[in-house]
Amino acid sequence: PRRPSEQLFRDMADLMASEGWKDVGYEYLCIDDCWMAPTRDERGRLQPDPERFPSGIRKLADYVHSKGLKLGIYSDVGNKTCAGFPGSYNHYELDAQTFASWGVDLLKFDGCNSGTLELLAEGYRNMSLALNKTGRSIVYSCEWPFYLRPVQQPNYTEIKQYCNHWRNFYDVYDSWSSIKSILDWTAIHQDSIVKIAGPGGWNDPDMASVVLVSLQLVIGNFGLSWDQAVTQMAMWAVMAAPLFMSNDLRDISPQAKWLLQNKEVIAINQDPLGKQGYRITKDKNFELWERPLSGGAHAVAVLNRQEIGGPRNFTFSLTFLGNGLACNPTCSVQQVLPTSRDWGFHSWVSSLSVEVNPTGTVLLKV
């Protein structure tokens, strides 16, 4: 990955403001690991690498704010970050105050080198309290359940008390197998994670530092086909995932830009009801997912997991949706992805037949 630098983030801020990203709702520009100097300053405070961030983080935050955007930063609950820079262990209050004084708006708090599970939990709780104490509104992005899971079942009720979103699973990579594994993991664990999601606290299918900024929509890189990119965008919307792009906005294709800036998909992702979607059926190579939306509507995703051959049809009865209530007595069906199309009105007892490309998804709003 490119090493983070002041200039890189200024360039991205300019593009987010001028290329329509901010207008559709992307507002956080997030710095990941490796922004720090290798040691704290003489007063014990974190400091940016002087070569790559010569003007300091406060100046960068001011610049980002001047564009109507917000700045995110990275630290770690342990004594070292994942890349070996100084962690926040024993410095939670000081680091929270430092970030607030710089004008930071989001903290991604990693879980490397945290010692025991007790220290991990204590660290996440302490940083949450420390951030609140600063009086500045700072989104708190945790990796708490991801580091707990190998050993114990996370208590999501507690995690939601302290965190705004939390990562459950491995880094997403620019590959179809990575996207598939995240969808599988989410479906297998949906009974324990779907119900906790809602305004103020979200399941984050991921935020890896793949290229530049921290969820990761890996759309706009090179590892996904067009159909797979459509699948990621559709499924992240159904899963109510925070949308962070992990790509270079200087050389993104018009096609990828169209997908990432698609207002209909973003409206589903950001639906005010804030309920997370779930898989309702799996039939051979097809998966049917739904997400309840405000106003009695539902987002419905039909995913074709077949990886060879051509487009295939999947037929399902509308009584399947919303516990039988989504179409009772009638409903309108809009196709959102891969293209926008009006499918007209349907009755409660009718069936829909959807043609889906291999590894692709058709996203509907019912």
- Residue 98 main-chain phi, psi, to 5 deg: -60, -50
Active site residues: 110, 171
A 10 A CB-CB count for 278 gives: 18
Cα 188–chain centre separation: 19
Helix or strand or coil: residue 131? Answer: helix
Q: How far apart are CA 232 and CA 153, in angstroms?
A: 27
Residue 362 identity? V
Partner residues linked to 313 by β-bridges: 355
Tokens representing 65? Answer: 């704010």
For residue 68, give both structure tokens: 């109507």
Question: Which SS3 state, helix, strand or coil, does residue 106 take?
Answer: strand
Q: Number of C-alpha atoms within 13 angstroms, CB side, residue 203? A: 31
Cβ atoms of 326 and 364 closer than 8 Å = no
Q: Does the CA dihedral 238-239-245-251 come out positive or negative?
A: negative
